[in-house]
A and B are shown apart, each in its own frame.
Chain A
Amino acid sequence: MLDRRIGLLVATLAIVASACSSGGTATTAPQSEAPASEAPASAAPPPSGSAAAGDCTVAVSWNNFQQPRWAAHDEPGIRDTVEAGGGTYISADANLSTEQQLTDVTTMLGQGADVMIILAQDTTVIGPAVQAAKDANVPVIAYDRLIEDPDVLYITFDNIGVGKAEAEAILAAVPTGNYVLIKGDPGDPNASTFLPQGWDDAGLKAKVDAGEITILNGPEGGAGEWPKDYGTYTEAWAPETAQANMEAIIDKAVADGNQIDAVLAENDSTALGVAAALTGKNYDPYPPVSGQDGDPANLNNVAKGLQYVDVWKNANELGKTAGAAALALCAGGDMASLTLQDGLIDPAVAPAAGLTATAFETPGGNSVSSFILTPTPLTAENLQLAIDGGQVTKEQLCAGVDAATAPPACQ
């Protein structure tokens, strides 16, 4: 009987061993072969400036890699900057689970992380993970999504500016008519607060109040709080959820005899769902749709005319900023007055406030140190910028685009 148990054991180990060897090559992060203590020996020469930190282990907790941008742009931006500075990059993916993210952060603290960069799955229940890092005296960078904690460094694009750029483009194309608002995850302040605030900055609320614009998916009976009760939220920003919601909205508009003139979708994954719903139902005439993130699939939709504007946050630069900030924190920099190396970040997207951290007042009433980068709106006219920035290849951008109606970048 025992020999059978040994058989089970050997089989289990064989699986583990094979999985590890294949997993090791599949993962893009080289953490398994380069423990922190050995990094300096083989490190590239440190760059000029004070950011050199030989023993710096920078840990990144991603909430998911389902949105194409994180793995394609943010991660290389952070990793290359950290490794060029002589540090070690480690990361974990929580696969959309708040529990897993807490575990990931604890695990990486156990692996000796010196700085913790967190892209929070949920900005509310991330608290214990941030506390665990603080308890271990490890500084936390809230990457792209805000964390309500006075001791984090917030690195993001100007999300109010993103919303403003989305709404400006759509309002210019459709000054009056029926609008549909597609918002992101209800737990994300970008979705509930910052982006709608940007829409208002572009004049959306004023036009709604003046009766020039009607929100088709407003609250039942028309009485509700602006902007909270207007529009449809998309749990986890999932494209299929946005698609299902949009299909229901289209069906209702058709039943009510309303024409959808424009769709303000908060980001690209929701815009993808909206475009799928509109094309799936052959909606005619096709309304302008907004989005942000510059995902290749969405830029392709812009080239095809299925999305009107895609506000692009150059994630390579965001990653570089986070990597540089992590190295500066490792070198003992003070979070409140952290200064980044000159020349590392593209001046077109660099923070309007300069390369020294500025205070940012959060909706929760905290004041956090921050770097706020500047976004770029992309329409059919200036898609070339995305190709130049390495966001998309010309083949990806122009796949399936009709030569007769092709934008300049595809000709």
Chain B
Amino acid sequence: MANVADVAPVTGQVEPPAGRSVRGMIAQTEVDFRLFGMLIALAAILLGFHVISGGKLIQPSNMLTLAVQAAGIAIIATGMVLVIVSRNIDLSVGSLVGLIAMTYGVLMTDWFPNIFGLAPDTPFLWVLALAMGIGVGAAIGALQGFIIAYIGVPSFIVTLGGLLTIRGLVWYQSNGAAVNGLDKTFLLIGGGAQGSVGGVLTWGIALVGSIAIVAILINSRRQRRRYGFPVRPIWAEIVLGVAGCAAIIGVAWFANNNFWPQGLADRVAAEQGWGPAPEGGWKIPTGFPFPIVLLIAVTLAMTWIATRRKFGRYVYAYGGNPDAAELAGINTRWTILKTYVLMGILCALAAAIVSARLNGASLDIGDTYELLVISAAVIGGTSFAGGIGTIPGAVLGAFVMYSLKYGLSFVGVNSPGQNIVVGIVLVVAVGLDTINRRRGT
């Protein structure tokens, strides 16, 4: 339990505890217990609300709405894990999301046409906007990271100042008004029927994912054999492979059972001359919305950075013991600064999703995100003591939190009620975790 950073198989020489008990068998598959428990909690929450709502909750359209809602928070939470693991905090993420969302807004509604002289239908305008948003995020992240790492002002203070300052800048950026009317292609980042990859590509993603799982399992087994590490029993490999592929294909099938709303399909059909609607109306599968594809990509990339790159290992080393990391020759200041740059980039991606969903930006975007993001990371098992936390855990934490919020709102509990429940779950989840750690080590 010294380092939970790695969700890949442990590479120690210790034999996993064998035995015929359920516990022993699960241990032999080397599945991360925390993630496994959270997956079950997530399923239980959704099923619970499904029953309470009279069987109306678990439908493709609802689940995709829930996933798109959680995507922004989950994306930022992957970065917050690294920040908290290295014993810092970032309270400015909500304001930064607001600032970058408004940046996208004013860029596409005002600056591009009026200052840069770019016509609204210029191709790749969305790429330019996204690049500038990411630039703003990285620059502000670098500035905050510099003050924290090189000047030594506590991160709580620096980012608290950031929270206030950046939120104020949002107001000046647009003169206090909301803006709307973004680039048509940019809007696809926000999801919705047209902002989804479609049925065929969704199956393609599922196929690639399944092949990757099987390839990783086979490769890892071969590598372990080669270096004489213990391998999983063959039944465990098969269970993991089948379960993984079944999950991916199942989710793809579920997403492909979400269809374009009739009104939209009829409108687009009329615009593009598809001819008369078939019997029973159009049935166009949406598949995965783009925010979900983005979230999957970010999760994979951040997991790779955290577990396979030097930078990621340094972050965990510093979090585990700052002095030891410093003495081992790690450039800890540069490492800390980079965690904040990464945070800024992730905020830019989340801001793109939000502003694209709203087709614009209002002054309140990103309000209280910092609290939601920190909650997601902490529910996902990130420890404020430093050195402990996983990227997939934080993503699952975001989904657990949002499925509670969504489920409660679905059965008619208003926002204050949702906050009460999420608040209690946050404390209870961390409380149980603390007790476990005390017993487990």
Which of B40, B192, B359, B412 makes the CB contact (< 8 A) with A5? B40
A107 and B54 contact, Cβ closer than 8 Å, known pairs A2-B33, A128-B192, A136-B262: no
B262 contacts A4, C-beta separation under 8 Å: no
By the criterion CB–CB under 8 Å, are B406 and A107 in contact?
A: yes
Q: Contacts A5-B37, A187-B178; is A27 near B263 (CB within 8 Å)?
A: no
Q: Is the CB of B360 within 8 A of A124?
A: yes
A136 touches B261 (CB 8 A): yes
| Chain B interface residue number, banded | 35 or more
CB-based contact B363/A1 at 8 Å: no
Q: Are B364 and A98 in contact (CB under 8 A)?
A: yes
> How far apart are A315's CB and chain B's nearest CB, in angstroms?
19
Shortest C-beta distance, B189 to chain A (Å), equals 13
Contacting A at CB under 8 A, from B354-371, are 354, 357-365, 367
Report yes or no: B362 in contact with A125, Cβ–Cβ below 8 A. yes
Q: How far is the CB of A100 from chain B (nearest CB, A)?
A: 7
With beta carbons under 8 angstroms apart, the residue of B40, B408, B412 that contacts A90 is B412
Given known A-B contacts A99-B354, A136-B261, A186-B176, A26 and B417 have beta carbons under 8 A apart: yes
Is B56 positioned at the interface, with any CB of A under 8 Å from its CB?
Answer: yes
Answer yes or no: B8 CB below 8 A from chain A CBs.
Answer: no
Q: Compute how far the CA of A233 lies from the CA of B176 in the bound complex, rounded to whole angstroms.
A: 9
Q: Which residues of B contact A236 (CB under 8 A)?
A: 364
- One of A2, A90, A91 near B23 (C-beta < 8 A): A2
- Please provide the chain B residues from 163 to 214 with a CB less than 8 Å away from any CB of chain A in the complex: 176-180, 190, 192-193
Q: Mark the stretch among B121-129, B314-322, B422-430 that contacts chain A.
A: B422-430
> Are B412 and A31 neighbours in the complex by a CB distance under 8 Å?
yes
Residue B223 at the chain A interface, CB threshold 8 Å: no
**Once bound together, how far apart are the Cα atoms of A91 and B412, in whole Å?**
7
B262 and A27 within 8 A (CB):
no
Check if A111 is an interface residue, CB within 8 A of chain B: yes
Q: A23-B417, A97-B364, A233-B176 are in contact. Are A11 and B412 (CB under 8 A)?
A: no
Asked if A9 is at the interface of the complex by the 8 Å CB criterion, the answer is: yes
Asked if residues A124 and B432 are in contact (CB atoms below 8 Å), the reply is: no
Q: B390-430: contact bitstring with A at CB < 8 Å (1 yes, 0 no)? A: 00000000000000101111111111110011001100110
CB–CB B261/A135 < 8 A: yes
A90 and B414 alpha carbons, distance in the complex (Å): 12
Stretch of B58-66, B235-243, B340-348 with 4 or more beta carbons under 8 angstroms from chain A: B58-66
A132 within 8 A of B: yes
A110 within 8 Å of B (CB atoms) = yes
A110-B61, A124-B180 known; A235-B412 Cβ under 8 A: no
The residues of B that contact A7 with a CB separation of less than 8 Å are: 432
Grouping DSSP codes into helix (H, G, I), strand (E, B) and loop, the B interface class, with mixed when no group exceeds half, is helix
Q: Is there an interface contact between B358 and A128, defined as CB atoms closer than 8 Å?
A: yes
A→B interface (CB under 8 Å): 1-9, 11-13, 15-17, 19-20, 23-24, 26-27, 29, 31-32, 35, 65, 90-100, 102-104, 106-107, 110-112, 121-122, 124-125, 127-128, 132, 134-137, 186-187, 233, 235-236
Interface: B324 (CB within 8 A): no
Say yes or no for B293: interface residue by CB 8 A criterion: no
Q: Does B270 contact A (CB under 8 A)?
A: no
Q: Which of B37-70 contact A (CB under 8 A)?
A: 37, 40-41, 44-45, 48-49, 52-54, 56, 59, 61-62, 65, 69
C-alpha spacing A5/B409, complex, angstroms: 27
Residue with the greatest number of chain A CB neighbours at <10 A, chosen from B49, B193, B436: B436
In the complex, are the beta carbons of A98 and B33 less than 8 A apart? no
* Known pairs A1-B33, A19-B413; A12 contacts B179 (CB<8 A): no
Q: Is the CB of A103 within 8 A of B69?
A: yes
Q: Tell me the smallest distance from the CB of A336 to a CB of chain B, in Å.
A: 18
1/0 per residue, CB under 8 A from A, across B230-263: the answer is 0000000000000000000000000000000111
The answer to whether A9 and B413 have CB atoms under 8 Å apart is no
- Could you tell me the distance in whole angstroms from the C-beta of B426 to the nearest C-beta in chain A? 11
Report the bound CA distance from A9 to B362 in whole Å: 38
Q: Which residues of A contact B69 (CB under 8 A)?
A: 103
Residue of A nearest to B60 (CB): A110
What's the nearest-Cβ distance from chain A to residue B104, in Å? 12
Are the CB atoms of A27 and B357 closer together than 8 Å?
Answer: no
Give chain A residues whose Cβ lies under 8 Å from the Cβ of B358. Answer: 98-99, 102, 125, 127-128
Q: Does B36 contact A (CB under 8 A)?
A: yes
